A and B are shown apart, each in its own frame.
Chain A
Amino acid sequence: MSSVILNALGHSADELSKMVQTSLQGGNGGELFMTGTRHFSQTLSNGILQQPSVALIKGGSVRRINGQETPFVVFDGFAAHDLNNALNLISKVPQGKAPTVNLTASGIAPKTSYYTQNDAFEGVELDVLQAYVVDLLREIDSYARQQDTRVANVDVQVAIAGQDKLIVRADGRVLSEYRPKCQFVVNVVLIEGDKKESSSENFGLPFTYTELLNARDDLRAMVDRCIEKASNNLTAIPAKGGDDFEVVFGPGFSGGVVLHEAVGHGFEGDFHSKDIASFQGKIGERVAAKGVTVYEDGTVANARGSYNFDDEGNAPEKTLLIDDGIMVGLINDELSAAALNMPLTGNGRRESYKHKPMPRMSNTYMEAGNATLDELIGSVKKGYYVMELNGGQVDIVSSKFVQNGTVVREINNGQLGAYVKGVSVAGKGNESYKHIIGVANDFEISKNGMCGKEGQSVPVTTGQGSMLFAKGALKVGGSA
């Protein structure tokens, strides 16, 4: 096995495996988790190039599983002294009394990767890379300003990163991989008279830098969408609120965020093992309308949320959560699977080596339906078409969720009407989804998405076709 991290530590995989097994023996599991990340980013803001930033961050942590008790030691850097110290500290933790964790799918090294393992920087020197990035930033800025004279500010950022990861498990298995990542973010501000509106687009995908540079047409299209959205919002009128609106969410990120917040979080096993989940005890029960089928799937090729093994070293899976409206599965890591005596689903993820893993989503999506978006909109007497959201929030205990719409249109008697602003949409995840009356065939999976839970952020995606909620399923907050 070749690994940048093993080379830096000066250990062979076998040596390190023995060290970790010795340190963690007597417990139920655990692992050494190490990453080395190289990151380059540059921003152009208001016509001025900001300083390039480079970061080189490396470190690791050791976790021991003693039943539900998981002592954890974190260290920065790859120094042998710090690694040995952490392994030594964790070995002194008294052994737990809890039953052995049932590890079913553990430690399977990936045969094929779900994304390229090529160097994000493709071996070029940073100053060469910087020159390419500066060209791209300038090009995007001037492109945006050429499209519309109302453009008052353009912020555009490119970030290129690559991460080496090494996991050595208590059972001795060693896993390593490399993951490239390219991120592009653009924000455009339009000013007309005394009105000001801005709009953003972004993506972050497992690309190398040339794949990003070659995607110029897509990047320009993102600028076009920003301008179109901000321009439409300049005409937007304050929205009326109420609980008698039908609501159509657009495909991909728009409806997908609702799915992620309102449903997905409620299926995370740690909440169930603590008896605090709103979807507690509902396996086998109807939680959504007939026709609603939802998967959590870490194996989608080239998706932002995919991984070759999770942060406990387990293989990702495609897990059925809702089958034709019936709740059938949960999202588990090793601890929650053991506590609930349910299948491990390879969803143990963490923000970085400084954090313990917990059950997290990866790519969460609803199967496409048969309707078309036009049919859904055409069937609405009085409602809103939510085309874009700026993310959302859920109270996992009460199942209450809220989403703030950033691009929203009225629907009156089947016709799209004015753009409106100030729409928030609230509901109860374990109730509202029973009142979906249509899912369209325009399935899309998002190219962006970050999920926060207990202070840890991980990249995710969401996907689905457009969907329609019946009158009364959701409460719309307005600004009129």
Chain B
Amino acid sequence: MKHLDTCKRAVQLALQKGASDAACTISTDEKTTISVNKGQSEGLSASTGVSMGIKVFLGQKVASFAVNDLSDESVTESVETALMLAKGSPENKFEGLADKSLVGKVSEQEVALIDAVDKTAPFTPEQMLQMAIDMEDAAYAVPSVAAVCSSDVKQGRDTSYTYLSNGFEGVEEDTWYQLVIDPVAGTGDKKVTSYDYSVAFHQADLDSVQTVGKTAGEKAAAMLNQVQLPSSGKMPVVFSPEISSSLMKGCLKACLNGAAIYAEKSLLDKSSIGKKLFGSNVTLLDDRLKPRGLSSSAFSVSGIIGPQSVKFVEDGVVQNFTMGVITARKLGMSPDLGREGMHNAYFKPSDISVKDMLSDIKLGLYVTGTMGRGFTAENGNISYTVEGYLIRDGFLTGEFVLEATIAGNLVEMLNSATFANDLTDRNGLNASTTRVDSLTVS
């Protein structure tokens, strides 16, 4: 716990030199990556990193300093410079650490429950190289896969140490493993690409490299069977679980962000809490203690622990925003949920199967990819270029549409959204297959 001691030393130094409060976080990371191209290694990359951030308070005057040299001289210089800048800063009535009464103690049981550290020995460089080669081979084994952009195996360990002058201390650590591959199918002007991946805190939870390589190859190959969109207009759109979590939840998350709400950059405002703005099918909640969950957390950086699960939207009614201590003060709300962000958030699935969800669709689009920055959080407008498969007469076809656009509004989408029963926990944010009937496709 050398780094936690450094955090404490920095905070104590700041207090000695006149700060009324101080906060310090040190983060370290170790990472190794290997990529192969056509069976040949592109070389092992190894990196180690460390960085420290110190924030000092003179009442409600503040300044912060980030540095990656943790020598005594450097820490002292950081504290002194931050204090000098804080002196020259105007008062900010919203600044200050969380009230002591809200600050908790990290529970060892909870850390154990999250189980983010794999005790198994990390992969050796030789193992990583073989995995990357095998994953690439599995993709090349799929007919019509002609090239692979990259086949990567990565692993790492991240640790963060936090000490606040209101008495909070916390350490968070995780190990992680990642496989990524993006094969190309077809040749000449008909080339297409797709990808697959697996990411986990534990080696044992990784998909096999053969599965990831094969899935990615098959996804790319399937895209070669291209058709034009038969007609334009309003039609049912079904988002794959991956796209639903990135698009639907990504957009809603931006709107539920307290800082964006305060800055008039969300279609929601403070009065939205308690209002039924979305369909009754829409319940968005999180779970910060999910075992091996990719965004599990035993505490928030403010030192507030918060409940295990927070409902952000329940049956279409807006319940909570994400916010830190400062944003909470700006909005005149309490930060007691300890949600600077969401942890393993998901849309509550229904009991409808994907098969049943598609069964009444005469013509629709099953979206597997999006491009562009087509969301405006201020008003909820959505306009994305998408790709995906046609749904005809109740069934998903193999007819791939490389380029279509969807247009509509997030609020309308969330009023017509249905979430199927196939929720998985592949990502830090998850959603099941989602059907929306309010979009215009062209």
Cβ of B62 within 8 Å of any chain A Cβ, yes or no, is yes
A477 and B88 contacting across the interface, CB-CB below 8 Å: no
A426 and B405 contacting across the interface, CB-CB below 8 Å: yes
- With contacts A69-B42, A478-B407 known, is A155 near B373, CB below 8 A? no
- Count B interface residues, CB 8 Å: 72
Which A residues are CB-close (under 8 A) to B381? 421-422, 479
In the complex, what distance in Å separates the CA atom of A73 from the CA atom of B193? 30
In the complex, what distance in Å separates the CA atom of A218 from the CA atom of B374? 29
Cβ of A1 within 8 Å of any chain B Cβ, yes or no, is no
Looking at B43-51, B110-118, B200-208, the stretch in contact with chain A turns out to be B43-51
Cβ of A424 within 8 Å of any chain B Cβ, yes or no, is yes
Chain A residue, CB-CB nearest to B191? A397
Cβ of A213 within 8 Å of any chain B Cβ, yes or no, is no
- With contacts A424-B405, A430-B189 known, is A57 near B66, CB below 8 A? yes
B88 and A130 contacting across the interface, CB-CB below 8 Å: yes
Interface residues of A in 191-212 (CB under 8 A from B): 191, 195-198
In the complex, what distance in Å separates the CA atom of A152 from the CA atom of B266? 13
Interface residues of B in 55-112 (CB under 8 A from A): 55, 62-69, 74, 78, 81-82, 84-90, 92-95
Per-residue CB contact flags for chain A residues 18-44 toward chain B (1 = under 8 Å, else 0) read 000000000000000000000000000
B191 and A278 contacting across the interface, CB-CB below 8 Å: yes
Chain A residue, CB-CB nearest to B47? A74
Q: A76-B51, A131-B88, A422-B383 are in contact. List 13 more A-B contacts (CB 8 A).
A: A46-B262, A48-B92, A52-B85, A54-B64, A55-B67, A70-B43, A241-B407, A276-B191, A399-B189, A400-B385, A400-B403, A477-B406, A477-B442
B383 and A56 contacting across the interface, CB-CB below 8 Å: no
CB distance from B153 to the nearest CB of A (A): 15
B371 and A402 contacting across the interface, CB-CB below 8 Å: yes
In the complex, what distance in Å separates the CA atom of A390 from the CA atom of B374? 9
B89 and A52 contacting across the interface, CB-CB below 8 Å: yes
Which B residues are CB-close (under 8 A) to A392? 372
Which of B68, B88, B374 is A424 in contact with, Cβ under 8 Å? Answer: B374
Looking at A58-66, A112-120, A320-328, A363-371, the stretch in contact with chain B turns out to be A58-66
Which B residues are CB-close (under 8 A) to A275? 146-147, 184
Which of A53, A242, A424 is B384 in contact with, Cβ under 8 Å? Answer: A424
B binding-site residues for A, Cβ under 8 Å: 37, 40-51, 55, 62-69, 74, 78, 81-82, 84-90, 92-95, 146-149, 184, 188-189, 191-193, 232, 262-265, 267, 371-374, 378-379, 381-385, 402-403, 405-408, 440, 442
A69 and B41 contacting across the interface, CB-CB below 8 Å: yes
Which B residues are CB-close (under 8 A) to A76? 48-51, 68-69
Interface residues of A in 381-415 (CB under 8 A from B): 390-393, 395, 397-404
Cβ of A4 within 8 Å of any chain B Cβ, yes or no, is no
Cβ of A3 within 8 Å of any chain B Cβ, yes or no, is no
- With contacts A51-B62, A51-B92, A69-B43 known, is A398 near B85, CB below 8 A? no
B191 and A89 contacting across the interface, CB-CB below 8 Å: no
Chain A residue, CB-CB nearest to B65? A54
Give 3 closest A-B pairs by Cβ, nearest first.
A477-B405, A74-B47, A397-B193
- With contacts A152-B264, A241-B405 known, is A57 near B68, CB below 8 A? yes
Which A residues are CB-close (under 8 A) to B442? 241-242, 477-478
Which of A195, A274, A430 is B147 in contact with, Cβ under 8 Å? Answer: A274
Contact sample, A vs B, 24 pairs, CB 8 Å cutoff: A49-B89, A51-B55, A51-B89, A56-B65, A56-B67, A73-B45, A76-B48, A76-B51, A79-B69, A127-B85, A191-B264, A241-B232, A276-B149, A393-B372, A397-B184, A397-B193, A421-B381, A424-B374, A424-B383, A424-B385, A426-B385, A478-B383, A478-B442, A479-B382
Per-residue CB contact flags for chain A residues 74-112 toward chain B (1 = under 8 Å, else 0) read 111111000000000100010000000000000000000
Which B residues are CB-close (under 8 A) to A195? 379
In the complex, what distance in Å separates the CA atom of A134 from the CA atom of B148? 51
A395 and B42 contacting across the interface, CB-CB below 8 Å: no
B374 and A404 contacting across the interface, CB-CB below 8 Å: yes
- With contacts A278-B191, A477-B385 known, is A46 near B263, CB below 8 A? yes
B193 and A426 contacting across the interface, CB-CB below 8 Å: no
Which of A73, A78, A155 is B263 in contact with, Cβ under 8 Å? Answer: A155
In the complex, what distance in Å separates the CA atom of A55 from the CA atom of B188? 47
In the complex, what distance in Å separates the CA atom of A325 from the CA atom of B99? 65
Cβ of A153 within 8 Å of any chain B Cβ, yes or no, is yes
B42 and A68 contacting across the interface, CB-CB below 8 Å: yes
Task: Give the most central of B82, B262, B385, B442: most A CB within 10 Å.
Answer: B385
B88 and A77 contacting across the interface, CB-CB below 8 Å: no
B37 and A274 contacting across the interface, CB-CB below 8 Å: yes
Cβ of A472 within 8 Å of any chain B Cβ, yes or no, is no
Which A residues are CB-close (under 8 A) to B407? 241, 422, 477-480
CB distance from A179 to the nearest CB of B (A): 19
Chain A residue, CB-CB nearest to B378? A196
B82 and A54 contacting across the interface, CB-CB below 8 Å: yes
Chain B residue, CB-CB nearest to A70? B43
In the complex, what distance in Å separates the CA atom of A393 from the CA atom of B402? 15
In the complex, what distance in Å separates the CA atom of A212 from the CA atom of B393? 62
Cβ of A356 within 8 Å of any chain B Cβ, yes or no, is yes
Which B residues are CB-close (under 8 A) to A477? 374, 383-385, 405-407, 442
CB distance from B326 to the nearest CB of A (A): 9
